[in-house]
Amino acid sequence: MTKNAEAVAAANKVSDYEWGFSSDIEQEFAPKGLSEDTVRFISAKKNEPEWMLEWRLKAYRHWLTMETPEWAKLNVPPIDYQDAYYYAAPKPKKLLESLDEVDPEILRVYEKLGIPLEEQKVLAGVEGARRVAVDAVFDSVSVATTFRKELEAAGVIFRSISEAIREYPELVKKWLGKVVPMHDNYFATLNCAVFSDGTFVYIPEGVRCPMELSTYFRINAENTGQFERTLIVADKGSYVSYLEGCTAPQRDENQLHAAVVELVVLDDAEIKYSTVQNWYPGDAEGKGGIYNFVTKRALCQGKNSKVSWTQVETGSAVTWKYPSCVLNGENSVGEFYSVAVTNNYQQADTGTKMIHNGKNSRSTIVSKGISAGKSSGTYRGLVKVAANADHVRNFTQCDSLLLGDQCGAHTVPYIEVKNPTAQIEHEATTSKISDDQLFYAMQRGLDQEQSVALIVNGFAKEVLQQLPMEFAVEAQKLLGISLEGSVG
Amino acid sequence: MFITAGIIWMPACPGMLPDMLKIENLHATVADKEILKGLSLEINAGEIHAIMGPNGAGKSTLTYTLGGRPGYEVTSGTATFDGRDLFDMAPNERAAAGLFLGFQYPVEIPGVSNVQFLREALNAQRKWRGEEPLSGGDFLKRARTQADAMGMHMDMMKRPVNVGFSGGEKKRNEMVQMGILDPKLAILDETDSGLDIDALRVVGDGINRIMRKPDKAVLLITHYQRLLDYVQPDFVHVLAAGRIVKSGGPELALELEREGYAEIAA
């Protein structure tokens, strides 16, 4: 604990350093605070074309007129946007000399997740570990190169968004901000102005992406910032499965995260987007922890297009996140599978929006909320059917599981239907892990933590089985670890 | 047949091995109310005991107290199980040491298959005992054998624990679990409740097949004589107002059935 505190203190010291006002391109830090100069600085740093800078500035000017959304069931202290750095590359994580300096609690979690030692060093930020780990984990850079060649052979573009803006300006220009408009919401607009980096993926017509894409590969090469921007375009008849996040808890000194993810799906194409989010949730007293305000949306533009969001949310002090589908295409399909765990003082307000504009469009929502400690979990979901969207179907299932008697679970469904042929179903349950279940499992030989993990994983099974295999195994372990000490 | 096996069974002779379960002057409370009031009982390997008693005598409290269920508090008295202080162990440690509870109302665990549940449980027990975990293949073989023996289809083993099972199927499942976990001592709480005659026979046969062995023991807790037609006890005890008030052979059960508890417990 003390070691970790020291590391954080050291990192804070670095970020408190007064660089003074400067737009010098050689500078590693943008000046503190947010202004048009900050936006220009970031754009210049990224060697962006003029149109991109204009776009950012437009967003920034609009953001100034906006107000923080207050409708979520979250208690967030006011954020001072002038008291933050918006560009600092590479991230000044304090490098540690060895794993001995890492918080033993974090090491214990790594151990439980079965993360190899070398990889642990990378995650914890131990000096000199990076190169070794890339070798150890991915069997040298050549493997990464092999992957890249394989993707290129298939015509798949998989780049950082900064690279893509320079190398594929037409493609980016065509879709950036088309799914989540610049004026969409406070945090998305902020992201438009100051996004530091992110991922761009394009799957050409008729191509089935030969491997599951993961930001993990790229994150090992460079740190992505707190304002991440992802754009994935699946052209006609293509398919891609994209994995985001990491089960291992990562150090990060940025308290505010405001990412935007845009997915575009054309005729007969499909995107499967899986997330495991485990940012620092704060300590047991609720101090520290990441504020995660994310805007994720998919545009199912083509007929028979399909998007499937699967998320396992266990981290962050505050989660504000509604991965949504705009179902414009005829026969398009939107799916949302979510497990959200809150413990101690964590707060999560998460759910989805299914906007049915296309005829015969269908959506499925399965949300599993697990609350423990003094935490609060809210499912908030909108199902909307436009007047000319005939024969829409939606099925929603929201289940909440409570551990202990000091946490809260809330379900807030919004249903707006303007077409009489729609079939909308909503089911909701709230239950507690019963003493009967716990004792039964323990009497068969499982200890208390194993019993809780088993029962919770059973509760979340429908969602977990949507995840790609290795991800699912890690996520199962993660659920158990997140709830340690929450019973008894 | 197996000489080594014979040697292992030898300790069943008195004096060579401590009692499997020895309870002395046990007092236990539930929600601050004393339910067990000085209960003593000794069970040796190779024996089947039955405890009978009227409603409210403390039968379920005895089961849960021995199993270590939270809320069932031992206020005085001791219990040793296979040489260990029973009350010093967590519920899962008692299970790993060889104690199995057959539940009157087996609990449902949605989303967790029987197979997954039992494999994790068995391997947790083995780990506690310092044994290697059982491989997936070996476990399935064992599960299949036990399910077949109880006339339970493997499809049911792949379904979530007890979810949608009938009362009879749940009790059958308890026996399959007992067969897989292979305990030293089984405490079976009202295992006969809710069973029709055919199911009663199947369950009774299961108890005999799995537990009627020189190195194992059973404590049957029941209201009625009828299970004892299928599982012949060596000893019968009458529990009333938190104590054993009378002990005897199998004939005591018949006597109870004939004359009622009131007469004998008086």
Tell me: the pLDDT tens digits for A371-402? 988 898 999 999 999 999 999 999 999 999 99
- Report the residue of A401, A436, A442 to disrupt the B interface, i.e. the one with the largest count of B CBs within 10 Å: A442
- Give the pLDDT score at A156: 92
Whether A120 has a pLDDT exceeding 70, the answer reads: no
- Which residues in chain A touch residue B160, judged by CB atoms under 8 angstroms apart? 458
Higher pLDDT, B126 or A69: B126
Say which of B103, B108, B124 has its CB closest to residue A445: B124
pLDDT over 80 (residue A104): no
How far apart are the C-alpha atoms of A311 and A483, rounded to whole Å?
A: 17
pLDDT at B8 over 60: no
Band of residue A404 on the pLDDT scale cut at 50, 70, 90: confident
Q: Which of A30-44, A440-454, B7-21 has the lowest mean pLDDT?
A: B7-21
- Angstroms from A457 CA to nearest CA on chain B: 7
pLDDT attached to residue B34:
95
Mean pLDDT of B54-67: 92
Asked whether the beta carbons of residue A442 and residue B90 sit closer than 8 angstroms, the reply is yes
Query: Mean pLDDT over residues A301-313, rounded?
Result: 95
Percent of chain A with pLDDT over 70: 77
Mean pLDDT over residues A360-380, rounded?
93
Reported as type and span, the H/E element at residue B237 is strand B235-240
Q: What domains lie within chain B, and their CATH numbers?
A: 45-69+90-265 (3.40.50.300)
Is residue A261 within 8 Å of A187, Cβ to Cβ? no
Q: How far is A454 from chain B (nearest CA, A)?
A: 7
Confirm or reject contact between A78 and chain B (CB < 8 A): no
Nearest-by-CA chain A residue for B97: A445
pLDDT band, very low/low/confident/very high, at A124 (cuts 50, 70, 90): low
Q: How many CB pairs under 8 A join A and B?
A: 81
Mean pLDDT of chain A: 81
> Cβ of A473 under 8 Å from any chain B Cβ?
no
Average pLDDT, chain B: 89
pLDDT of residue A76: 82
Contact residues on chain B for A442, CB-CB shorter than 8 A: 68, 90-92, 95
Q: How far is B91 from chain A (nearest CA, A)?
A: 6
Our CA-based measurement puts residue A235 at a distance from the nearest CA of chain B, in whole angstroms, of 37
- The size of chain B, in residues, is 266
| CA contacts within 13 A on the Cβ side of A277 | 30
Write the ipTM: 0.92
Any A CB within 8 A of B160 CB: yes
- B122 vs A445, A451, A460: nearest CB: A445
| CB-based contact, B222 to chain A, within 8 Å | no
Residues in chain A within 8 Å Cβ distance of B105: 436
| Cβ neighbours around A448 below 10 Å, total | 18
The residue-averaged pLDDT of B76-97 equals 95
Contact B186, B21 (CB under 8 A): no
CB within 8 Å: A444 and B110: no
Task: Output the pLDDT for position A473.
Answer: 79
Q: What is the pLDDT of residues A217-266, one digit of tens each?
A: 444 333 445 788 999 999 999 999 998 876 555 555 557 888 999 999 99
User: CA A367: distance to chain centroid?
Assistant: 16
Distances (CA, A) of B227 to A302, B33, B174: 66, 31, 16
Say what the pLDDT of residue A25 is. Answer: 35
CB proximity A443 to B under 8 Å: yes
**What is the least distance, in Å, from the CA of B71 to any CA of chain A?**
10
| Angstroms from B16 CA to nearest CA on chain A | 28
Q: How far apart are CA A406 and CA A432, in angstroms?
A: 12
For testing contact with chain A, the best of B66, B131, B161, B165 (most A CBs within 10 A)? B161
Q: Which residues of A touch B124 (CB under 8 A)?
A: 445-447, 450
Beta bridge mates, A228: A197
Q: What is the pLDDT of residue B226?
A: 85
Q: Which residues of A touch B118 (CB under 8 A)?
A: 444
- Report the gap between the CA of B7 and the closest CA in chain A (Å): 29
More confident residue, B124 or A469: B124
Which of A435, A447, A457 is facing B70, going by the closest CB pair? A435
Q: Which pLDDT does position A79 carry in this prediction?
A: 82
pLDDT for the residue A102: 64
Q: What is the pLDDT of residue B1?
A: 34
Q: Is B180 on the interface with A (CB under 8 A)?
A: no
Give all strands (DSSP E) within B31-180, no chain letters: 33-43, 48-52, 72-81, 84-85, 99-102, 109-113, 160-161
Residue A131 has pLDDT above 60, yes or no: no
* Chain B 125-144, residues with CB within 8 Å of chain A CB atoms: 125, 128
Whether residues A443 and B67 touch (CB distance < 8 A) is answered with yes
To test the contact with chain B by mutation, choose from A435, A436, A438, A443 the residue with the greatest count of B C-beta atoms within 10 A, namely A443
Inter-chain CB proximity A442 and B91 less than 8 Å: yes
Nearest-CA distance from B134 to chain A in Å?
A: 14
CB contact under 8 A, B111 and A442: no
Give the H/E segment covering residue B30.
strand B21-30
pLDDT score of A360? 97
Percent of all residues in chain A with a pLDDT value above 90, rounded to a whole number: 46
pLDDT at residue A217 in the model: 46
State pTM to two decimals: 0.80
CB-based contact A446 B124, cutoff 8 Å: yes
Is pLDDT of B160 > 80?
Answer: yes
Mutation to test the A interface, candidates B94, B107, B185, most A Cβ within 10 Å: B107
Query: Quick one: pLDDT at residue B124?
Result: 96
Residue B124 sits at the chain A interface (C-beta within 8 Å)? yes
Q: Under an 8 A CB cutoff, do A460 and B111 touch? A: yes
Region B195-219: mean pLDDT is 92
Instruction: Say whether residue A101 is in contact with chain B using an 8 A CB cutoff.
Output: no
Binned at pLDDT 50, 70 and 90, residue B265 comes out as low
How confident is the model at residue A248, as a pLDDT? 56
Is residue B236 within 8 A of residue B252, CB to CB? The reply is: yes
A397 touches chain B (CB under 8 A): no
* Distance from the A276 Cα atom to the nearest Cα atom in chain B, whole angstroms: 21
Residues of chain A with C-beta less than 8 angstroms from the C-beta of B181: 444-445
- Span B167-178, average pLDDT: 93
| Cβ-Cβ contacts under 8 Å, A447 against chain B | 90, 92, 124
